[in-house]
Amino acid sequence: MTTADYEPDVVLSTKVYDVIGSCPIRPDGVDKVTGRALYGADYQAAGLLHGKMLRSPRAHARIRSIDTSGAEASRASAGGSTKSTS
Amino acid sequence: MPAKTYVQSTINGEHVDFLCEPRQSLLECLRDVIGLTGSKEGCNDGNCGACTVELDGRIVTSCLVLGVEAEGRDITTIEGIAIGSTLHPVQQAYLENAALQCGICTPGFIVASKALLDQNPNPTEHEIRFWLANNLCRCTGYDKIVRAVMDAANKMQEAAV
């Protein structure tokens, strides 16, 4: 039997579906094709803080201490705190 | 803070002047200074094409153009493609052909597609694929996008007759 001759003897469903087989236009589509859609990076909250990670310039070095005074001074004006993990 | 430069340009048909640092890319100026966030930052090194805009009728990746280079130039971004509240035929074709999913690459693709049809109203599939080679899409794939551009070309030609 070739594939073309095959006819299933079980009809799974004769139901007419509303959604399956239709080609709806996505609800967010117009915003996306016009550039109006706002993604995370497009949104700027008032007073948004920016973080920066400081990494060791040497691999496998033992960290004895971290001088955070500079970071704390700049953090102070933002009212935040500085935390170092070693 | 480095001194900022005063730049006058035309963006989407309107005169826009802005201040930018000499190091800032046109993409940064559009998004962060002017507030036109439709152009997306994907790779920020000219590979992905998500930031594509038209600069004096040529498509460029705006992440590789400096903001100060916009002086006296005419820029069209994704926000300037629709004609008033009516979608451009390219935008309509992308919607109808399901040629977008997450939508990050879409602004760049649409700006590039429109520029193609402006200069070649009846491109072959090969020409479309070649033209859009600098735009990357990671979710929809390219077949639906190419079909959308062919559909838009047909509709625009029918409308022109």
For A7-44, write each residue's pLDDT tens digit: 767 777 788 888 888 889 999 999 999 999 999 999 98
Which ipTM did the prediction report? Answer: 0.93
**B103 to A32: CB separation less than 8 angstroms, yes or no:** yes
Asked if residue B98 and residue B65 are part of one domain, the reply reads no
Q: Which of A25, A28, A35 sits opposite B38 (nearest CB)?
A: A35
Residues in B touching A25 (Cβ below 8 Å)? 95-96
CA distance A65 to chain B (A): 30
User: Which residues on adjacent β-strands are paired with residue B6?
Assistant: B19
Asked if residue B95 and residue B39 are part of one domain, the reply reads no
Q: Is B137 on the interface with A (CB under 8 A)?
A: no
Q: Kindly write down the DSSP assignment for every residue of B88-151, as one continuous string.
A: PHHHHHHHHTT--SS-SSHHHHHHHHHHHHHH-SS--HHHHHHHGGG---SSS-SHHHHHHHHH
Q: Is A39 on the interface with B (CB under 8 A)?
A: yes
Q: Which domain holds residue B148?
A: 89-160
Nearest alpha carbon to residue B128 among B148, B101, B155: B148
Q: Is it the case that residue B54 has pLDDT exceeding 90?
A: yes
Asked if residue B37 and residue B18 are part of one domain, the reply reads yes
Distance CA B161, CA B157 (A): 6
Across B156-161, average pLDDT: 92
Distance CA A55, CA A86 (A): 10
Query: What residue has token string 């004006």?
Result: A77
pLDDT of residue B110: 98
- The distance between the two most distant Cα atoms of chain A, rounded to a whole number of Å, is 81
Residues in B touching A29 (Cβ below 8 Å)? 94-95, 100
pLDDT of residue B50: 98
Distance CA B16, CA A44 (A): 21
Asked if residue B117 and residue B55 are part of one domain, the reply reads no
